[in-house]
Amino acid sequence: MLSAIVFDLDGVVYLGAQGIPGVASEIERLQRTVRVLFLTNNATKSRADYARHLAKFGIMARPDDVMTASFGCASYILENYGRGKRVYVVGEQGLRDELEGEAMAEIMEDGAEFVVCGLDRQVTYGKLDAALRNLNAGATFILANSDPTIPREFGVSPGSGAIAASLICASGRQPDVVIGKPSVYLIKKLLQMHGIKAREAVFVGDRLDIDIRMANKAGMKSVLVLTGVAKKGDAKRAPKKDKPWKIIKSAAEIGNALGI
């Protein structure tokens, strides 16, 4: 029985500002028969931001249908430590919004119990300095995702992992937890929130060592699309843990591949 299809976003649903042809209409069709969910390592936007963002591509989604690393950081703190914790953030507004909303975190400069690091396109020496002070004082180090780069229309730009690398270098500490894929934290949380069993769900992604690895580890069926990072030959060469269950050209073909 198939209960849900979970889509990665960049490289699967869209490439930067460009929707991948046929995917929005395929999702609309699938939404009549199965639960359609979305999961991204991005931590710069909140789930509500993503619901609005997807609407621009003609995709209807509620904030609860979207799992992001920003929400994941907040829910991780809430589940393991409780609400109202003192947090220092290297990251953007969407991450702050989820931390303050979901975990009721108090965002502060000094005396933080947690340093949460995500992609921050306005990162400064002062922010890294404040993060380091808190880490050196013993704050728990939470990393949204370890992606070294983010895809751009032309090439790549530094990602959350690259910013964290400077904190790892300066503090001599590794993150206490990494929330994003290939960790299974986000997908487990999303399926749990919707009451869906992993074996009844399919994950559709474009990266073998991130998306497919996570899906296989979580016990889901993994489908690789060739509209993003991975090419067909990469899947052949991949180790067993990164081998997809199916390979399709584009997410526009997912219903056909699953017989729905």
> How many degrees, rounded to 5, is the angle at CA 234 between CA 187 and CA 252?
60
Helix count (H) and strand count (E) of the chain? 10, 15
Residues 179 and 69: beta-carbon distance below 8 Å: yes
Site string for Mg ion, 179-208 (x = CB under 5 A): ---------------------------x--
Is there a catalytic annotation at residue 8? yes
Residue, CB closest to Mg ion: 11
Using DSSP bridges, classify how beta strands 140-143 and 114-117 pair: parallel, antiparallel or unpaired.
parallel
Instruction: Using the minimum distance from each CB to Mg ion, give the nearer residue, 65 or 206.
Output: 206
- Identify the residue whose tokens are 């409780």: 82
Shortest CB 151 distance to Mg ion, Å: 8
Shortest CB 41 distance to Mg ion, Å: 8
Instruction: Tell which positions 205-224 bind Mg ion, by CB under 5 A.
Output: 206
Question: Which amino acid makes up residue 210?
Answer: I
Instruction: Using the minimum distance from each CB to Mg ion, give the nearer residue, 30 or 210.
Output: 210
Site string for Mg ion, 106-145 (x = CB under 5 A): ----------------------------------------
Please give the Cα distance from 181 to 215 (Å, whole number): 9
147 binds Mg ion (CB under 5 A): no
Give residue 197's Cα distance to chain centre.
19
11 binds Mg ion (CB under 5 A): yes
Please give the Cα distance from 225 to 238 (Å, whole number): 15
Is there a catalytic annotation at residue 10? yes
159 binds Mg ion (CB under 5 A): no
In 3D space, the residue among 15, 7, 12 whose CA is nearest the CA of residue 151 turns out to be 15
- Identify the residue whose tokens are 């994950």: 203
* Kind plus residue range of the DSSP H or E element containing 190: helix 185-193
Burial level of 245, CB count in 10 A (0-12/13-18/19+)?
middle
Instruction: Using the minimum distance from each CB to Mg ion, give the nearer residue, 8 or 97.
Output: 8
8 binds Mg ion (CB under 5 A): yes
Shortest CB 221 distance to Mg ion, Å: 17
In 3D space, the residue among 232, 214, 226 whose CA is nearest the CA of residue 251 turns out to be 226
Instruction: Using the minimum distance from each CB to Mg ion, give the nearer residue, 11 or 94.
Output: 11
Q: Which of 5, 6, 7, 10 binds Mg ion (CB under 5 A)?
A: 10
Size of the site for Mg ion (CB under 5 A): 4
Shortest CB 83 distance to Mg ion, Å: 31
Shortest CB 182 distance to Mg ion, Å: 12
Nearest-10 crossing angle of helices 125-136, 160-171: 50
Instruction: Using the minimum distance from each CB to Mg ion, give the nearer residue, 85 or 181.
Output: 181
- Using CB under 5 A, list all residues that contact Mg ion: 8, 10-11, 206
The catalytic residue positions are 8, 10
